[in-house]
Amino acid sequence: MFVKDFIGEYDRYRQLGEKAMAQVSHDGLNRVVAPDGNSIAMIVRHVHGNLVSRFTDFLTSDGEKPSRDRDGEFADGEFTREAIDASWRHAFEVVFSELDRVREPDLTRTITIRGIELTVHEALCRSIAHTAYHVGQIVLLARVVATDEWQSLSIPKGQSKQYNMNPTREKAPNAAPARP
């Protein structure tokens, strides 16, 4: 039950990021809007690096792989939409592949990240929070650099009462995630 909840949350943030990025031009994906800031492309590269590192051999090896180049994830550069989309998809494919192998009793097992011991449950909570944090950044940046034709990803301003009469975006109990 809990593993399925984690899968559902990762899928929710995957979809939210995709919907935000779909509303942004190629230039917008690469735009840095503040000094020493990050573009959506940089954040996607970071999320990719983090999730692939954490979830490759999730239950058996340290979550910070020696091959990971975290600083390189934030390097300046122009990245194509195709490369950004491929990184995003790959990150979540790794997550879902590994989580499909995790069973409820595994949640109390101990794993390490940067040599620090955590239960699987703690590591998943930490990872969800990290992913949500960066998806929030992606959504905000997308809204800033998108056109005036932005389609709200939540309840639009002034429409809460109308939405509450038909809450179509709510998660149904025990609903299976709509993964790619």
**Backbone φ, ψ for residue 115 (5° rounding):** 80, -5
Helix (H) or strand (E) holding 10: helix 2-21
| Each residue's pLDDT expressed in tens, for the chain with a length of 180 residues | 799 999 999 999 999 999 999 999 999 999 999 999 999 999 999 999 999 999 999 999 999 999 999 999 999 989 999 999 999 999 999 999 999 999 999 999 999 999 999 999 999 999 999 999 999 999 999 999 997 788 988 888 888 888 888 887 666 555 555 666
Cα–Cα distance measured from residue 82 to residue 141, given in angstroms and rounded to the nearest whole number: 19
For the chain, what is the radius of gyration of the CA atoms?
Answer: 17
Is the CATH number 1.20.120.450 carried by domain 2-165?
A: yes
Question: Hunting for tokens 């195709």 — which residue is that?
Answer: 82
Cα–Cα distance measured from residue 139 to residue 102, given in angstroms and rounded to the nearest whole number: 30
**CA angle (52, 98, 95) in 5-degree steps:** 45
Selection from 10, 15, 9 nearest residue 139 by Cα: 15
Domain parsing of the chain, residue ranges? 2-165
pTM of the model: 0.90
Q: What contacts 87, CB < 8 A, 6 or more positions away?
A: 44, 45, 48
